[in-house]
Amino acid sequence: MGVKIRERRGRIFLDIYDHGVRHWEALDLWLTGDANHDKEVRMLAEIARGKRIEQLHEQANGLIDRIAAEMPLVEYAEKTIETKHENKKNPLPKSMKYLRQFASEATAGTIRLKQITPALVERYKQFLKNQPALSAATQQKYFEAFRSLMRRAVVERLIPSDPCVSVKNIRVPEPLTYSLTVSELEKLAKTPLGGTLGGEVRKMFFFGVYTGLRVSDIRALQWKQIQRDPLSITVKQQKTSEPVQIPLHEIAFNIIDDGALHLGDEYVFPHAATTKTSLNQYLVMWAKAAGIEKPLGFHTARRSFGTLILQGGSDLATVSKLLGHTNLRHTARYLKTDTERQQAAIASLPVIDVEPKQADIVQFKVK
């Protein structure tokens, strides 16, 4: 390992040889020909050389990189985004607007990695919570992106420990979820939905009730994914990329069976698969016509599937597998019960005569 100072065309470089690899790093230093100026420039270059040697030594020995710890927080976040640009779901890029604002306001200047403490993390959390434009769920996502950034900094040995460990996450209220009862589904079944696309949306909704598929998977469904013997459907879920095979109820197959022969790459719901029109507007009109007061969306069909399966006596693990969930806690959301189910659950408790008869009462004397 070695670092030397090189001069080329008036500019100062560091010539670095480390682990068999040699490369040059340009310094923002220039020689002008003025003796006093150039002497000062060479002194600064020598300081930079010493810092670079120290940094390489710390990296080689698994020590905290004190030089890199001087990096501004915002700069580190931006570099991280550049290296993870392929992850479109990463919330860090969208949170940068707020992180930059906080960094500029928190210290009236620049926050460096080495300056991040649990107290500062708590301040950033409160900063996000005070943003009226952000929902609680978005606040939590942006804060979790920051926590992930700090964990990355620990792994890269830029900071000695995670300053977020002792700071609680932002609590997100449990969202209201809806599923339909059998009587509500029967109301929808008796209510027509006009138009070519409307009729297809109606079929898609009931297909979701009998399969539990997400609307994205239903729209992308092709005939090659349908197996006739035994009736089943194989889907690689667009949201999770996890393949799931679902036994297909005869009613679900009847919903899509038009009696015609189809090529494997044909869409089962061709109009919905290609249209740019919002499908939810059809569901809003349909619910109003059927007298359904609950908000109606395609995810309502998916939740109804999970709820009806659970009500039918299936265990949570089976329902989780059918829904393609990777975590039972996610599936547990489908256990939310309405008043009628709660009353039925209470009524199912065994009847025990807890009032003793007079003859059975034993008198105890206190000494």
Residue 88's pLDDT is 62
Rounded distance between C-alpha atoms, residue 341 and residue 307, angstroms: 11
Max CA distance (Å), the chain: 115
> Which residue would you say has higher pLDDT here, 245 or 346?
245
Q: Do 143 and 125 contact (CB within 8 A), yes or no?
A: yes
Amino acid at 182: V
Q: 182-347 has which CATH code?
A: 1.10.443.10
Residue 67's pLDDT is 67
The pair phi, psi for residue 234, each rounded to 5°, is: -115, 125
Rounded distance between C-alpha atoms, residue 141 and residue 132, angstroms: 15
Residue 203's pLDDT is 93
The pLDDT tens digits for 225-280 are 998 888 888 887 666 666 777 888 889 899 998 888 889 999 999 999 999 888 98
CA distances from 302 to 61, 62, 114, 205 (A): 53, 50, 47, 9
Residue 194's pLDDT is 85
The pair phi, psi for residue 245, each rounded to 5°, is: -110, 125
Residue 359's pLDDT is 54
Q: Over the chain, what HEC string results?
A: CEEEEEEECCEEEEEEEECCEEEEEEEEEECCCCHHHHHHHHHHHHHHHHHHHHHHHHHHCCCCCCCHHHCEHHHHHHHHHHHCCCCCCCCHHHHHHHHHHHHHHHCCCCCEHHHCCHHHHHHHHHHHHCCCCCCHHHHHHHHHHHHHHHHHHHHCCCCCCCCCCCCCCCCCCCCCCCCCCHHHHHHHHCCCCCCHHHHHHHHHHHHHHHHCCCHHHHHCCEHHHEEECCEEEEEECCCCCCEEEEECCHHHHHHHCCCCCCCCCCECCHHHHHCCCCCHHHHHHHHHHHCCCCCCCHHHHHHHHHHHHHHCCCCHHHHHHHHCCCCHHHHHHHHCCCHHHHHHHHHCCCCCCCCCCHHHCCCCCCC
**Residue 27 pLDDT exceeds 90:** no
Q: Do 217 and 200 contact (CB within 8 A), yes or no?
A: no
Residue 338's pLDDT is 46
Q: Do 263 and 217 contact (CB within 8 A), yes or no?
A: no
Residue 270's pLDDT is 93
**Where do the domains of the chain lie?**
2-63, 70-155, 182-347
Percentage of the chain surpassing pLDDT 70? 80
- Among 20-24, 170-174, 324-328, which range has the highest average pLDDT? 170-174
Percentage of the chain surpassing pLDDT 90? 30
> Which residue would you say has higher pLDDT here, 288 or 320?
288
**Residue 339 confidence class, pLDDT cut points 50, 70, 90:** very low
Full-prediction pTM beyond 0.75?
Answer: no
Rounded distance between C-alpha atoms, residue 269 and residue 197, angstroms: 9
Mean of the per-residue pLDDT values of the chain:
82
**Residue 84 pLDDT exceeds 70:** no
The pLDDT tens digits for 105-159 are 876 568 888 889 999 999 999 999 999 999 998 999 999 999 999 999 888 888 8
CB atoms within 10 A of CB 52: 17
Asked if residue 192 has a cis previous peptide bond (ω within 30° of 0), the answer is: no
Name the token pair of 89. Answer: 């779901």
Residue 342's pLDDT is 54
